[in-house]
Amino acid sequence: MTNKEDQLLLEKHIQTQKREKRIVLYWQVIILLAFFGLWELASRMTWIDPLLFSSPSRVFTQLVTKFSDGSMLSHAQATLFETVLGFIIGTVLGILIASILWASTRFSKIMDPYLVILNAMPKVALGPIIIVAFGPGYFSIIAMGAIISVIITTIVVYTGFREVDPNYEKVLKSFGATRWQCFKSGVFPATLPVMISTLKVNVGLSWVGVIVGEFLVSREGLGYLIVYGFQVFDFTQVMASLILIAIFAAIMYKIVEMIENWLIKHTT
């Protein structure tokens, strides 16, 4: 096969991938528009209770009003700050603990049952204890966002470390590499796809932890708006807060995808 034919095949493959991405994007937009269209129609036709479920038009109007007067912006900034910080702390701490477990086989065997128990334990139930320990404020909410993701990050990443082909380490050791050098040059890079997958999961877990924390203690944030909306029967505010959470979570997910694509491009 000539170089020209190879080039044509490559271009055809790239065009096929682009066309597939466009088709997927079109369907995602169609499903989103259909959802909001059906929701609006169901509310106007009273197929659903407009008081409980509101409608996209009411939600949009309230978002515009709240952002115009600045009240929603402060709440959104508070929740976004807490979530991003909790996400980063939980992920970094989980990877660090997984690295320590990989470095010591004995320590990993000792900690194995405790990790399983901690993973099974409902972290949300620790909320009151965390609030007492850190006090009612940003620290307790950020801690909730971190704690809810750190254990699953540790387990998944450590499992990824253990499943790396042992031949990588053998080859590096044959060249005189230390265990740390084997980890840095072989095991850790080989586990990057697992870490990226964990990041995607942690996006959702961090939002759950922070919103639950705001339910319990906060006087600011989207979680606080949801609770307050239920208390005063302002369900439009509740739906507006939920939609903002969905938008921010989608943005965080896309950022993680961009990091994944960058790593794939620069490590292959």
Query: What is the pLDDT, as a whole number, of residue 238?
Result: 92
Instruction: Decide if 53 is inside a domain.
Output: no
CATH of the domain at 122: 1.10.3720.10
Indicate the pLDDT class of residue 6, thresholds 50, 70 and 90: low
266 alpha-carbon distance from chain centroid:
23
Q: Is the dihedral of CA 133, 138, 139, 143 positive or negative?
A: positive
Domain of residue 34 covers: 1-48
266: pLDDT strictly greater than 70: no
- Same domain, yes or no: 206 and 254: yes
- Same domain, yes or no: 44 and 119: no
- 236 with 54: CB under 8 angstroms? yes
- Same domain, yes or no: 214 and 232: yes
Q: Which of 22-36, 120-134, 187-201 has the highest mean pLDDT?
A: 22-36
- 51 with 111: CB under 8 angstroms? no
Query: What is the pLDDT, as a whole number, of residue 261?
Result: 78
Instruction: Decide if 128 is inside a domain.
Output: yes
Q: How many angstroms separate the CA atoms of 141 and 128, rounded? A: 11
Overall domain count for the chain = 2
Instruction: Decide if 133 is inside a domain.
Output: yes
Burial of residue 266 (CB within 10 Å: 0-12, 13-18, 19+) is exposed
- Same domain, yes or no: 94 and 14: no
59: pLDDT strictly greater than 80: yes
Query: What is the pLDDT, as a whole number, of residue 58?
Result: 93
By C-alpha distance, which of 93, 129, 135, 123 is closest to 205?
Answer: 123
Last residue of a domain, one of 30, 48, 66: 48
Query: What is the pLDDT, as a whole number, of residue 3?
Result: 67
Indicate the pLDDT class of residue 79, thresholds 50, 70 and 90: very high
215: pLDDT strictly greater than 90: no
Query: What is the pLDDT, as a whole number, of residue 8?
Result: 73
- Same domain, yes or no: 31 and 64: no
Task: State how far the alpha carbon of 141 is from the alpha carbons of 1, 79, 170, 207, 254, in Å.
Answer: 61, 9, 44, 11, 24
